[in-house]
C-alpha cells in the first residue's frame, strides 16, 4: 500500500485503552468485584448497549441530552446507554413475571457519555452496579446489604482506607417541611449539597436568596454538619423535629443501623454523615457515598441509595430499589495517577522457553507438558536473533527461562534459569514442574 493512502491510526479522546500489563490489573479488579456480587447472591444481567431513545430518555421526556450518544438507524431512534439503572428499570418492567422479588442483580459494563472530555472524565466508562428491586415494597435490610457489598468490594480490591458516609434524605426533607419550606425543598437540597464546595457563608447567602430565613439557614447547615456513629448522632438529632418525614428518616436509619450491626461490619468503615445528599432527585431514603480517607480529593469512589419508584416511567407497578455503583474506570485512573495500583507485570508467564538452533518442535513439546501441569509459559518461536529473544525475556520480566538446544533435546534435561538471581539448575521436565509449582 502506498504511504499516501495510509490512515493515521488514532483513538478517540476520553476513551480509556490500557496496555495489556495494566489491563491485567483492571480485569483483576472487575473479576474481584464480580465475585463479591456473586458471593452476595446478586444475579448477573447484561442488557444491550443500544436502546430505543424514548425508553432510555423516558425520564427527560425524550429530550435530547447533549451528553448522550443518540442517532438514527433506519427508522429507529437509538441511544447508547449512559447508565445501567434505566436499562434495569426497563428490564424489570418487561420481565417482572419471570423474576423473584426482591430481585438482586448486578451488571458490570460500559456506559457512554458524549460530554466534552475533561481531566479525569471519560466518555466510555465501566460501571459496576448492584441493585435490589422490590415488588410493591422493599424493607430496610436491602439497604444494609448494599453497605455490606461496598465493604466487601473494597476489601476484595485491597483498598482498605475507605469511609462510607451514610444519610437518609427524609431527615432533610422533613426538617425543611418543618421549617415551612415544603415548596423549595429541591432547591434547598441543591445548595446544601454544595456547602463543601462553595463554603458555609456562600451557602447561607444562596439559601437567603431562596427566601430562607437566616436563622433557618443556620439550622439547616448545622444539621448537615452532624456526623459520627449512628447511635450518637441519632440521639443528638431525634428530638429536634416532630415532622413525620423527619421521624421516618430517623426510624429508617435506626433500623438500618440494627442490620449493619447484625452483619458485624467493620465500624471504622462507615459513619452517619448528614452532609450526604446526592444530587439525583430520584433518591428518596438512604443515600451514601464512599471516600478513600487518604485521598478525599478522589471524591465519591462508590455511591448509591434508595429510590422509591424505579419503574415509574414504564409501569404502574411500584418497584422500589436500592443500589450501589462503582465507577471503576475513573477510580482505576485515579489510582494509576497516584501510583496506588499493584505492581505491573508485562507478562503472566512463569517460564519463557527459548529455542537455540532447530529445536522449536522440541520446545513446543516441553511447553505442552508444562502447560498441562498448570505452568504458564510460552516458546519464543520468532525469527529474531537469540540475543533479541533474551532481550525480550528480560523486558517481559518473566521469572524463569529455559534455553533449549540440541543437547537439551538429546538429554531431556533443561537449564532452568532464574532471571532475578541468575542462578541456573539443570532439571528434568518433571522436576521443573515440581520446582515451579512449589515456589
Binding to a second copy in span 68-87, by CB under 8 A: 69, 71-74, 76, 78
Residue pair 217/204 in contact by the 8 Å Cβ criterion: yes
Q: Which stretch binds a second copy (CB under 8 A): 34-42, 165-173, 230-238, 417-425?
A: 34-42
Beta bridge partners of 163: 291
Q: Which stretch binds a second copy (CB under 8 A): 15-23, 223-231, 336-344, 407-415?
A: 15-23
**Of residues 268, 290, 270, 265, the one with CA closest to residue 278:** 290
Spell out the alpha helix ranges (H) of 200-277. Answer: 200-209, 214-224, 230-237, 244-262
| CB of residue 204 to a second copy, shortest distance in Å | 36
Q: Which CB sits closer to a second copy, 108 or 220?
A: 108
| CB of residue 109 to a second copy, shortest distance in Å | 9
Cell of 245: 418525614
| CB of residue 428 to a second copy, shortest distance in Å | 18
| CB of residue 143 to a second copy, shortest distance in Å | 11
| CB of residue 160 to a second copy, shortest distance in Å | 18
Residue pair 246/132 in contact by the 8 Å Cβ criterion: no
| CB of residue 264 to a second copy, shortest distance in Å | 6
Cell of 310: 424505579
Does 4 interact with a second copy (rule: CB under 8 A)? Answer: no
Q: Which stretch binds a second copy (CB under 8 A): 132-140, 199-207, 290-298, 405-413?
A: 132-140
| CB of residue 102 to a second copy, shortest distance in Å | 6
Q: Which CB sits closer to a second copy, 298 or 369?
A: 369
Query: What is the rounded CA–CA span in Å between residue 324 and residue 280?
Result: 13
| Cα→Cα distances 112→125, 241, 303, Å | 7, 43, 18
What mask, x for binding a second copy by CB under 8 A, covers residues 35 to 74? ---xxxx-xxxxxxxxxx-xx--x----------x-xxxx
* Other CB atoms within 10 Å distance of the CB of residue 28: 12
**Of residues 158, 194, 166, the one with CA closest to residue 304:** 166
With H, G, I as helix, E, B as strand and everything else as coil, classify residue 211: coil
Site for a second copy (CB under 8 A): which residue of 6, 242, 385, 387?
6
Does 24 interact with a second copy (rule: CB under 8 A)? Answer: yes
How many residues lie near a second copy (CB under 8 A)? 107
Q: CB-hemisphere CA count at 13 Å for 26?
A: 22
Query: What is the rounded CA–CA span in Å between residue 259 and residue 238?
Result: 19
Contacts of a second copy in 330-349 (CB under 8 A): 346-349
Amino acid at each position: 500500500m502506498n504511504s499516501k493512502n495510509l490512515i493515521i491510526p488514532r483513538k478517540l479522546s476520553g476513551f480509556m485503552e490500557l496496555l495489556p500489563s495494566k489491563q491485567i490489573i483492571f480485569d483483576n479488579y472487575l473479576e474481584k468485584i464480580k465475585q463479591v456480587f456473586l458471593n452476595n447472591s446478586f444475579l448477573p444481567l447484561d442488557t444491550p448497549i443500544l436502546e430505543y431513545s424514548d425508553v432510555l430518555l423516558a425520564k427527560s421526556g425524550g429530550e435530547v441530552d447533549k451528553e448522550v450518544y443518540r442517532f438514527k438507524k433506519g427508522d429507529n431512534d437509538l441511544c447508547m446507554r449512559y447508565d445501567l439503572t434505566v436499562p434495569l428499570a426497563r428490564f424489570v418492567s418487561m420481565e417482572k413475571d419471570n423474576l423473584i422479588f426482591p430481585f438482586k442483580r448486578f451488571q458490570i459494563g460500559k456506559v457512554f457519555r458524549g460530554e466534552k472530555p475533561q481531566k479525569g472524565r471519560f466518555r466510555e466508562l465501566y460501571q459496576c452496579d448492584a441493585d435490589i428491586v422490590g415488588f410493591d415494597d422493599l424493607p430496610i435490610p436491602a439497604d444494609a446489604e448494599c453497605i455490606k457489598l461496598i465493604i466487601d468490594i473494597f476489601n476484595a480490591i485491597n483498598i482498605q482506607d475507605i469511609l462510607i458516609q451514610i444519610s437518609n434524605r427524609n431527615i432533610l426533607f422533613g426538617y425543611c417541611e418543618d421549617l415551612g419550606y415544603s415548596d423549595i425543598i429541591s432547591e434547598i437540597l441543591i445548595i446544601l449539597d454544595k456547602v463543601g464546595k462553595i463554603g458555609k457563608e456562600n451557602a447561607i447567602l444562596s439559601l437567603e436568596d431562596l427566601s430562607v430565613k437566616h436563622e433557618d439557614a443556620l439550622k439547616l447547615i448545622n444539621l448537615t454538619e452532624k456526623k459520627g456513629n449512628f447511635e450518637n448522632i441519632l440521639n443528638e438529632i431525634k428530638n429536634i423535629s416532630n415532622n413525620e418525614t423527619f421521624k421516618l428518616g430517623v426510624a429508617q436509619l435506626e433500623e438500618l443501623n440494627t442490620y449493619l450491626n447484625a452483619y458485624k461490619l467493620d465500624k471504622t468503615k462507615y459513619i452517619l454523615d448528614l452532609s450526604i445528599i446526592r444530587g439525583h432527585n430520584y433518591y428518596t431514603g438512604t443515600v451514601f457515598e464512599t471516600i478513600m480517607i487518604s485521598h478525599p480529593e478522589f471524591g465519591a469512589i462508590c455511591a448509591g441509595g434508595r429510590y422509591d419508584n424505579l419503574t415509574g416511567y414504564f409501569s404502574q407497578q411500584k418497584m422500589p430499589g436500592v443500589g450501589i455503583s462503582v465507577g471503576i474506570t475513573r477510580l482505576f485512573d485515579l489510582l494509576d495517577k497516584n501510583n496506588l495500583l499493584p505492581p505491573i507485570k508485562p507478562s503472566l508467564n512463569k517460564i519463557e522457553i527459548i529455542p537455540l538452533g532447530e529445536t522449536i518442535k522440541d520446545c513446543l513439546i516441553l511447553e505442552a507438558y508444562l502447560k498441562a501441569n498448570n505452568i504458564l509459559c510460552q516458546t519464543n518461536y520468532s525469527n529474531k536473533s537469540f540475543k533479541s529473544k533474551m532481550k525480550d525475556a528480560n523486558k517481559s520480566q518473566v521469572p524463569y527461562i529455559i534455553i533449549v538446544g540440541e543437547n537439551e533435546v538429546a538429554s531431556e534435561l533443561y537449564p532452568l534459569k532464574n532471571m532475578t538471581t541468575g542462578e541456573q539448575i539443570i532439571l528434568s521436565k518433571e522436576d521443573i514442574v515440581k520446582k515451579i509449582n512449589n515456589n
